Amino acid sequence: MNDSIIFTGLPVSPQSTQSTFQDTPDIQSAKLNSLPDVIEFCKVNDFPADIVGQWVWIRFDSKPSADVRDSLKSAGFKWIKVRGQWAHDCGHPSRRGKGDPRWKYGEIPVNAISNDDVRKLRGNAR
């Protein structure tokens, strides 16, 4: 099943967004390749992230510390200078498009996604 289709109708529940994942790989030290892993990484680190299509974008108010930048790089995020944001393709690379992808796909704040919804995505992603 396609992740973007899953997300389009994904119900957002007002449950706590505190991470309770016990059965997931070490998301602090490895490059992440799936949307559920990237969402969890952002939630655990309390990053201001949004899901845009099948990608995750992070926008900081000011330049993050070197440790945060290194953590983002090691997880597979890339700095997109044109947008002034960090982006992760979650295993769905694409060519540079015209305009802001938010216009086409909209955005969902990562912190609005419940842990149960991430588990459902993880089940569908494998």
> Over the stretch 110-126, which tens digit does the pLDDT of each residue have?
998 888 888 888 775 44
Instruction: Name 96's Cβ contacts closer than 8 Å, sequence gap at least 6.
Output: none
Give the residue, 93 or 18, on which the prediction is more confident: 93
Q: For position 69, what pLDDT does the model report? A: 96
Predicted confidence (pLDDT) at residue 1 exceeds the cutoff of 70: no
Alpha helices in 22-82 (DSSP H): 35-44, 66-75
CA-to-CA separations, 67 to 16, 71, 106, 114, in angstroms, rounded: 27, 6, 30, 27
pLDDT tens digits, one per residue of 23-73: 444 444 467 888 999 999 999 999 999 999 888 999 999 999 999 999 999
Domain boundaries, the chain: 30-94+101-125
Query: Count of CB atoms within 10 A of residue 75's CB?
Result: 23
Question: Would you place residue 4 in the very low, low, confident or very high pLDDT band (cuts 50, 70, 90)?
Answer: very low
CA-to-CA separations, 59 to 21, 80, 102, 111, 119, in angstroms, rounded: 24, 10, 13, 14, 25
Q: Which residues, in sequence order, are bridge partners of residue 108?
A: 51
Contact status, residue 3 vs residue 53, Cβ threshold 8 Å: no
